[in-house]
A and B are shown apart, each in its own frame.
Chain A
Amino acid sequence: MIEIKGTMSFAGGVHPQENKRFTEQRPIELFTVGKQVAILLGQHIGAICKPVVAKKEAVTAGQVIGRAEAFVSAPVHSSVNGVVKDITLQSHPVLGRAMAVIIETDAAADNVKRPCPQRFGADFDASAWDPVRIREAIQEAGVVGMGGAGFPTRVKLEPNPQMPKDVIIINGCECEPFITCDYRVMTEWTHQVLAGVQLAARAAECSNVKIAIEDNKPEAIKIMHKAVRECREAKNIEVVPVRTKYPQGGERQLIKAVWKKDVPVGGIPPMIGVVVLNVATCAAIAEAVVCGNPLTHRVATVSGSSIARPGNYYVPIGTPVADLIDYCGGLDEKIAKVILGGPMMGFAIADLSTPITKTGGAVTLLTKEEITRAKYDRRETPCIRCGRCLQVCPAGINPTRIAHAVKHGMLDVADQYHMNACIECGCCSYICPANIELTGYIKTGKILVARAKKRMPQ
């Protein structure tokens, strides 16, 4: 029997209300595409794609519509059959406004894409695929990290003689409240995820794999463990339960918990021989390599206490948030805030035409009461020097010092206190009894420093 209780963890962190009950038990559902989709040309870290289709051109689902020549980039594909209506600025969840290809869906065509987890079973054998071919297939399919950052997966997996990979950690933590899409993917598409894991391991030429799952998902741990045991070729894969705590799913925190190593500040995991992949990314890898399907759809959770039909939906990328909300029963007057992502790290959006991207796996709808409880009337009061922000900070820095330095324009002081080490997890803002928006100030400080550096000639 596998141990379900996770002991591994990191220092700091908080325990926000999980709120997964709304959607945890809802199986992944297909989604009917709306009238149009807006596919953003920059959905990843790296070079933004150039459109390769023209206005009025007919496109089919899966066709490449944006491409960039740079190594760190990923192509984007149409998620529907239809006609390009426009190439224009569109609301972007992070950038505000960014270029997108607007496609009017062809009502006559069959626009429902079905997932294919049934193609993967316990007998899957990754050795039939050539590592170079796997990496190419991943790149062509436009697979990027689907957990949030959107780093092109191919770049992550590319073997680098200077930085050999010791371990691949599969991130199945899903520590954000409300979100359950990764949980559903793990429990329903278990073998597909596992196939993706094996392919990734082969592509990265590293056979040591750990699948980390938070111990508030015992079902997922059991199912994944069983699948790994059944699988002939998965000898080096280990399922490791980790303690339930936010931000357990943060890359640095997860590495600390599972591999007991620190990623240097300003560095990236490959420097210490680690690759972290999200479970949804693994499913996308399997589909890309085995079925040849580009990444055009993703599972997204729509959740909240006040929505009629919360659930996990298999949505085309580019679907406006408004369509998704309407499909789930629409907004009512109680809902006060729409968040793309979870309540801890997501972005509150005001323009509901903002489309779903490869990296955005959730729409969270909060009511006025919930926000009030989570400090809506953010009336900032003076710091009472309780030290709680220091206690919970997983990066081990002094949030209040940095935030106050930024507030008073002392950027050099903020820098001395290691502002750059902040992972913007929001723990300090969450815990602060004085309602100080610590994370917000720190983020602002980082932007100000970056701008000042850019301006300085030397």
Chain B
Amino acid sequence: MMLAQIAMDQLLRGIALSAATMLLLGTAFAVVLLIASVKLKVTVDEKVQQVHEALPKIDCGACGYAGCASYAKAVVANPELLGKCSPGGQATAEAIAGILNLQVRGGGSAPLRPIVHCRAHKGDRTYHAEYAGIPLCTAANAQPNVQACKFGCLGFGDCTRACKFDALHVIDGLATVDYEKCTGCTACSKACPRNLIEMVPFGQENMMTVACSSRETGKVTRSMCQVGCIACGLCVKQSDLFTVDDNLARLNYEKYEPSEATETAMTKCPTGVIVERGKTARQPRAAGEKAAKASA
């Protein structure tokens, strides 16, 4: 009997002790939490949230930040960064300016749009062999002679997969931009292993371009591609907006305005590599089609 009573006593005392301990601990933590919730209170900046709402929230990274949220934070802290969101464009810039009581400066410079500096479709290029490797541009680019031209579009669509707006498609072996859908987010230009896609300020609805990147001499380019730039310099004679450097002609995009001179350069280019790109661009001359005669 005695023994049983002692055991019972001990048990009760044990339970009482643990209950007391728990209570104490609970109170202590509650106090800590209370203090923490006051001291470490996260003040969500209203402005940041509003700016974030105004952004397209596609996290494309064109602004140079990891996503829309971090750009929102950055632009609230530093108003200089206004207007960096190219998918949002002028409207977004104005909306943010409204929230932050700022003035939009510059009144909308020319929007950046990508131009693929190659115009060769499958049939226009020379292939020495069949490529049976991994169907990614980056993988193919690491192999020698996947196609004769080391500069042109590979057509496996690394850029297409990078585009979040379905604005880029590989059509018959050539990456082709759909300017209606493109927002200018620059993702494609970063994805291309051959650096074919350049972001160009579109001062006009349609932009003229020398759609080639080949640095080979004219003769070699000719042997590799029917529509490559052979650096003959005819365009330079027509308009001083063109220059030829390192076996490749180039148009001064900043200064470009459609004129008779650029028009003649386009029609006279022997390989038809000068083309128009943009929402309402004209169809380029078919590969192999003769250039306009000098008198035309």
Query: A residues bordering B, Cβ < 8 Å?
Result: 88-89, 91-97, 347-351, 354, 376, 378, 409, 437, 440-441, 443-444, 447-448, 451, 455
Shortest distance in angstroms between B191's beta carbon and chain A's nearest beta carbon? 9
- Chain B residues whose CB sits within 8 angstroms of the CB of A349 once the complex forms: 144-145
Q: Is A91 within 8 A of B145, CB to CB?
A: yes
Q: Is A96 within 8 A of B139, CB to CB?
A: no
Name the prevailing secondary structure of the A interface residues: mixed
Q: Is A444 within 8 A of B144, CB to CB?
A: no
Residues 211-227 (chain B) with a chain A CB within 8 angstroms:
215-217, 220
Q: Is B134 within 8 A of A444, CB to CB?
A: yes
Shortest distance in angstroms between A251's beta carbon and chain B's nearest beta carbon? 21
Contact of A437 with B133 at beta-carbon distance under 8 Å, contacts A95-B144, A443-B139 already known: yes
A447 CA to B133 CA, complexed, in Å: 16
Residue of A nearest to B136 (CB): A444
Q: Is B148 within 8 A of A444, CB to CB?
A: no
A448 CA to B146 CA, complexed, in Å: 19
Shortest distance in angstroms between A187's beta carbon and chain B's nearest beta carbon? 32
Shortest distance in angstroms between B97's beta carbon and chain A's nearest beta carbon? 26
Q: Is B132 within 8 A of A376, CB to CB?
A: yes
A448 CA to B136 CA, complexed, in Å: 11
Q: Flag whether B193 is at the interface (Cβ < 8 A).
A: yes
- Chain B residues whose CB sits within 8 angstroms of the CB of A92 once the complex forms: 144
Q: Flag whether B138 is at the interface (Cβ < 8 A).
A: yes
Shortest distance in angstroms between B69's beta carbon and chain A's nearest beta carbon? 19
Q: Is B144 within 8 A of A96, CB to CB?
A: yes
Q: Is A93 within 8 A of B144, CB to CB?
A: yes
Shortest distance in angstroms between B145's beta carbon and chain A's nearest beta carbon? 4
Q: Which among B127, B145, B161, B190 has the greatest number of chain A C-beta atoms within 10 A?
A: B145
Q: Flag whether B252 is at the interface (Cβ < 8 A).
A: no
- Chain B residues whose CB sits within 8 angstroms of the CB of A94 once the complex forms: 144
Contact of A440 with B132 at beta-carbon distance under 8 Å, contacts A349-B145, A455-B190 already known: no
A38 CA to B161 CA, complexed, in Å: 39
- Chain A residues whose CB sits within 8 angstroms of the CB of B220 once the complex forms: 88-89
- Chain A residues whose CB sits within 8 angstroms of the CB of B136 once the complex forms: 444
A94 CA to B141 CA, complexed, in Å: 10
- Chain B residues whose CB sits within 8 angstroms of the CB of A447 once the complex forms: 138, 141-142, 193
Q: Flag whether B128 is at the interface (Cβ < 8 A).
A: yes
Q: Flag whether B143 is at the interface (Cβ < 8 A).
A: yes
Q: Is B142 within 8 A of A437, CB to CB?
A: no
Shortest distance in angstroms between B2's beta carbon and chain A's nearest beta carbon? 66
Q: Flag whether B34 is at the interface (Cβ < 8 A).
A: no
Known A350-B144, A455-B190; 12 more pairs at CB < 8 Å: A89-B217, A89-B220, A93-B144, A96-B144, A350-B127, A354-B144, A378-B132, A444-B134, A444-B138, A444-B139, A447-B141, A447-B193
10 A-B contacts (beta carbon < 8 Å): A88-B217, A92-B144, A93-B144, A96-B141, A351-B128, A354-B144, A378-B132, A441-B134, A441-B139, A447-B142
A422 CA to B220 CA, complexed, in Å: 37
Closest 10 CB pairs of A and B: A350-B128, A350-B129, A350-B145, A97-B150, A444-B139, A96-B150, A351-B145, A440-B134, A96-B144, A444-B138
A346 CA to B74 CA, complexed, in Å: 49
- Chain B residues whose CB sits within 8 angstroms of the CB of A376 once the complex forms: 132
- Chain A residues whose CB sits within 8 angstroms of the CB of B141 once the complex forms: 96, 447
- Chain A residues whose CB sits within 8 angstroms of the CB of B161 once the complex forms: 409
A350 CA to B129 CA, complexed, in Å: 6
Contact of A448 with B148 at beta-carbon distance under 8 Å, contacts A89-B220, A347-B143, A351-B128 already known: no
Shortest distance in angstroms between A416's beta carbon and chain B's nearest beta carbon? 19
Q: Is B142 within 8 A of A444, CB to CB?
A: yes
- Chain A residues whose CB sits within 8 angstroms of the CB of B145 once the complex forms: 91, 96, 349-351, 354
- Chain B residues whose CB sits within 8 angstroms of the CB of A378 once the complex forms: 132
- Chain A residues whose CB sits within 8 angstroms of the CB of B215 once the complex forms: 89
Residues 110-130 (chain B) with a chain A CB within 8 angstroms:
127-129
Shortest distance in angstroms between A419's beta carbon and chain B's nearest beta carbon? 14
- Chain B residues whose CB sits within 8 angstroms of the CB of A448 once the complex forms: 138
- Chain B residues whose CB sits within 8 angstroms of the CB of A444 once the complex forms: 134, 136, 138-139, 142
A455 CA to B190 CA, complexed, in Å: 8
Q: Which of B129, B139, B150, B193 contacts A440 (CB 8 A)?
A: B139
Q: Is B216 within 8 A of A89, CB to CB?
A: yes
Residue of B nearest to A338 (CB): B129
Contact of A348 with B193 at beta-carbon distance under 8 Å, contacts A88-B217, A89-B215 already known: no
Q: Is A451 within 8 A of B193, CB to CB?
A: yes
- Chain B residues whose CB sits within 8 angstroms of the CB of A97 once the complex forms: 150, 216
Shortest distance in angstroms between B165's beta carbon and chain A's nearest beta carbon? 17
Q: Which of A93, A409, A443, A455 contacts B142 (CB 8 A)?
A: A443
- Chain B residues whose CB sits within 8 angstroms of the CB of A88 once the complex forms: 217, 220
Residue of A nearest to B64 (CB): A457
Contact of A348 with B143 at beta-carbon distance under 8 Å, contacts A89-B215, A437-B134 already known: yes
Shortest distance in angstroms between A96's beta carbon and chain B's nearest beta carbon? 4
A116 CA to B117 CA, complexed, in Å: 52
